[in-house]
Amino acid sequence: KQEVTQIPAALSVPEGENLVLNCSFTDSAIYNLQWFRQDPGKGLTSLLLIQSSQREQTSGRLNASLDKSSGRSTLYIAASQPGDSATYLCAVIWGAQKLVFGQGTRLTINP
């Protein structure tokens, strides 16, 4: 079964720290992987998309990496700010068009 797992479910860090969110998936034959941000009660905002042929993508303070052979992706957030507090979701497309999501990591940045 193709599954996505995100650990930890929640993370709390002081403002200014660099941090890493983890995502693992069960089948390495992915088409692409997408990271999203979700604020409470809101829809999803796409942060970064990594194609299966890529190793990483960067946008501002965010960097996402992909290691298909180990079935892992990480989202690195540099110099965290209170406005980064949200739930971060990892999702994989394996070939059908549907995204398969992890359960998310709820991130709190403390001022």
Partner 1 sequence: DTGVSQNPRHKITKRGQNVTFRCDPISEHNRLYWYRQTLGQGPEFLTYFQNEAQLEKSRLLSDRFSAERPKGSFSTLEIQRTEQGDSAMYLCASSLGDPQYFGPGTRLTVL
* Binding region for partner 1 (CB under 8 A): 4, 32, 34, 36, 41-46, 49, 51, 89, 91, 93, 96-104
Q: Are 96 and 31 in contact (CB under 8 A)?
A: no
Q: How far apart are CA 80 and CA 52, in angstroms?
A: 28
What's the min distance (Å) between Cβ of 47 and partner 1?
Answer: 10
When the beta carbons of 15 and 27 are compared against partner 1, the nearer one is 27
Closest distance of CB 22 from partner 1, Å = 14
Cβ atoms within 10 A of the Cβ of 64, count?
24
- In this complex, which beta carbon is closest to partner 1, that of residue 77 or of residue 91? 91
CB 99, min distance to partner 1, A: 6
- Whole-angstrom Cα distance, residue 77 to residue 19? 5
Q: Which is nearer to partner 1, 14 or 41 (CB)?
A: 41
